[in-house]
Structures are given as structure tokens and as C-alpha cells.
């Protein structure tokens, strides 16, 4: 019951994102194919899956950096799927993104001060907000000092550059932040510092995160709920604790078996998936995972499974659990 009482900040309904293939022989690339999910206010919703499964495309579509081909996206109950012009620009203040590569997302010709001023200039807020005061506040939030303001990106370390990226995302006081592999380009020690910073900011500012990562240990550290994606589809959604205790989809089992175990007594047998990941421009019929699934049956080859709730708050798309309901 408690989960139903949580306020939904963002809701996606049957979202699809298709791209044209590189040539006539290659069909439409189904990067995201009929994904539905809710993100509750104040939570971190983690998304995991192999490279090319559609995680980043989904994240960027939710904040309208990419337009959905089909489906609806609701922010605080308002449909933002087809917003344009000033309404879309105003909406962007509520949703921001932290990119994977801090070196690529910061303008090398601008100082840190100019980079942090840019959001206020774009939205014409420099008359409404004391920009210098706000910039100093942002630097303090991300653990940097005023002397960084005159620096250019190439004069900063990787961790410092990502902190500037975080500060820029926070500038307009957004409600939702998409973290697109936000720590994968950083050294392991710096990853931990940035993850701790993100957690502190979430608690202090009441933020909601859509956290994309291929690293399950990182997802475990920060996420309240986790969605597992495979070839453009969401195949399982649950709280991480529930997912770690009992996962249903064979793909999720394989992913979790790959997490290194420190305790030798609790070592689990590694599940090795055979075969290559199919092309999103020519996905297999039925369940998209059936070509690599050790538990696939004839029905899996013919009929696509729907995402169903088989336990409280636990959804899975797998024919093995059709009609199943557990406590």
C-alpha cells in the first residue's frame, strides 16, 4: 500500500523511440520499444542493461532531449510529449541531465564562471536571480572553491569537471535529474566521492534521479528501485533489495551473477549467456531474449510477454511467470 501513496513525479506510457537505419537494407532501429514506468518523487530509479539496450535513449527521451516516436510522458501530471516552443523551454528548467563524459560536455573555450552562468542567460533569469550569489552557492554545494571560477575545463581534474557538470544541472533548481553513466568515466576512488555527493544533494535538495548505469554495484549503492532493460524493452522492475533477494527474469539472473562476490562462502555460479545480442533494427519475434535464454520455450519464440506485477511492486516480462502471484 505504501508504494501507491508515493507521489508520481514522472510517468511514461508506451514510449517508443525509433530511428532510421543507416541504409535501405537496415530497417528502423527500435532503440526504445514500448516502455512504461513511474518515477516517484524523491526516489532514485536505476536502469541497468548491456550497452546498446536503450538506457541512455530512454533517459534523454524522458526529458525531451529526444522526441518520442510514440507514447506519452507526464511530468507532475502534465503531458510533455508534444510540448513545443516556450512551454517546452520552461519545462526544461524542471528536468536536467548529468552527462557521462565531463570533458566532452563542458565548453573548452569558457571558464567555469561562464559555464555556470549559461543556464541563467538561456532562460533570461539574470534579472530575477543574483547570479553571482547563486554561482557561489552552487560551487559550495558540489565541494569546489571560488578560485575554480577562472579556470578552464582543461585545467580541472576529471572529478572536478564532473562536479561542474553537476553544479550546472542544479543551477535552475530542477525536480528530476537524469544521471547518464555519470561516474563511469571517472577513476574508482573519484566515483565513490561523486556518488556520495549525489546522495547528499538528493537528501539536501529533495531531488529525484533517473540513474543510468551498466555497473550493478553502483546501482545498488544509489537506487531505490531498478529497471532492467534488454534490447529496448523493460524486462523487470523492482526495489533493489527485492531484486537481489528474488529475481525472476533469466536476463536479470545472468546480470546479477556477474557481480563480483567478496565473501567466498556466498559465491554464486556465473551464468554465461551464449550468442550475440540481436540488432535493434531486426529484433527477434516473441520474447527478445529467447535467442540467448537457457529457459526459452516455443511460446517464447512466438509470443511477446507483457510486463506484469507478480509480487507487490515487482514487475517482470516473462512467460515463466504468467498468472503467478507471490507475496
The residue among 207, 143, 205 whose CA lies nearest residue 178 is 207
pTM of the model: 0.91
Pairing of strands 225-230, 233-239: antiparallel
2-94+174-260+268-321: CATH superfamily: P-loop containing nucleotide triphosphate hydrolases (3.40.50.300)
Query: Measuring CA to CA, which residue among 80, 39, 52, 50 is closest to residue 177?
Result: 39
Q: Grid coordinates in use for 65?
A: 532531449
CB 15 within 8 A of CB 68: yes
Buried b (16+ CB within 10 A) or exposed e, 80-104: bbebeeeeeeeebbbbbbbbbbbee
The CA-based dihedral angle spanning residues 284, 289, 292, 293, taken in that order and rounded to the nearest 10 degrees: -130
Per the listing, cell 556520495 goes with: 196
Diameter of the chain measured on Cα atoms: 65
242, with CB counted inside 10 A (0-12, 13-18, 19+), is middle
Per-domain boundaries in the chain = 2-94+174-260+268-321
Q: What is the pLDDT along the chain (327 residues), one digit of tens a residue?
A: 344 468 999 999 999 999 987 766 667 899 999 999 999 999 999 999 988 899 999 999 999 999 999 999 999 999 999 999 999 999 999 999 999 888 899 999 999 999 999 999 999 987 888 999 999 999 999 999 999 999 999 999 999 999 999 999 999 999 999 999 988 878 888 999 999 999 999 999 999 999 999 888 888 889 999 999 999 999 999 998 888 888 899 999 888 877 665 555 555 666 767 777 888 888 899 999 999 998 889 999 999 999 999 999 999 999 988 765 554
Amino acid at each position: 500500500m505504501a508504494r501507491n501513496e508515493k507521489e508520481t513525479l514522472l510517468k511514461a506510457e508506451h514510449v517508443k523511440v525509433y530511428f532510421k537505419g543507416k541504409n535501405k537494407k537496415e530497417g528502423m532501429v527500435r532503440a526504445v520499444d514500448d516502455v512504461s514506468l513511474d518515477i516517484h518523487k524523491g526516489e532514485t530509479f536505476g536502469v541497468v542493461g548491456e550497452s546498446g539496450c536503450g538506457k541512455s535513449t530512454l533517459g534523454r527521451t524522458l526529458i525531451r532531449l529526444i522526441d518520442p516516436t510514440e507514447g506519452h510522458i507526464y511530468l507532475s501530471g502534465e503531458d510533455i510529449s508534444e510540448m513545443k516552443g516556450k512551454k517546452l523551454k520552461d519545462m526544461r528548467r524542471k528536468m536536467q541531465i548529468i552527462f557521462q563524459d565531463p570533458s566532452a560536455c563542458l565548453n573548452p573555450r569558457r571558464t567555469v564562471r561562464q559555464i555556470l552562468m549559461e543556464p541563467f542567460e538561456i532562460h533570461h533569469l539574470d534579472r530575477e536571480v543574483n547570479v553571482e550569489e547563486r554561482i557561489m552557492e552552487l560551487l559550495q554545494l558540489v565541494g569546489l572553491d571560488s578560485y575554480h571560477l577562472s579556470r578552464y575545463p582543461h585545467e580541472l581534474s576529471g572529478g572536478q569537471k564532473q562536479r561542474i557538470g553537476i553544479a550546472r544541472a542544479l543551477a535552475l533548481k530542477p525536480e528530476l535529474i537524469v544521471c547518464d553513466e555519470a561516474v563511469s568515466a571517472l577513476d574508482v576512488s573519484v566515483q565513490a566521492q561523486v556518488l556520495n555527493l549525489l546522495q547528499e544533494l538528493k537528501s539536501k535538495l529533495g531531488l529525484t534521479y533517473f540513474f543510468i548505469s551498466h555497473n550493478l554495484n553502483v546501482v545498488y549503492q544509489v537506487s531505490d528501485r531498478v529497471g532492467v532493460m534488454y534490447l529496448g524493452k523493460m524486462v523487470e522492475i523492482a526495489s533493489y533489495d527485492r531484486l537481489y533477494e528474488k529475481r525472476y527474469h533469466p536476463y536479470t539472473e545472468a546480470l546479477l551473477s556477474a557481480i563480483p562476490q567478496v565473501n567466498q562462502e556466498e559465491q554464486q555460479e556465473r551464468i554465461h549467456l551464449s550468442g550475440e545480442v540481436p540488432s535493434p533494427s531486426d529484433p527477434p519475434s516473441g520474447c527478445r531474449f529467447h535467442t540467448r535464454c537457457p529457459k526459452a520455450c516455443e511460446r517464447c519464440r512466438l509470443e511477446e510477454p507483457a510486463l506484469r506485477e507478480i509480487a507487490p511492486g515487482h514487475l517482470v516480462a516473462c512467460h515463466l511467470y504468467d498468472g503467478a502471484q507471490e507475496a
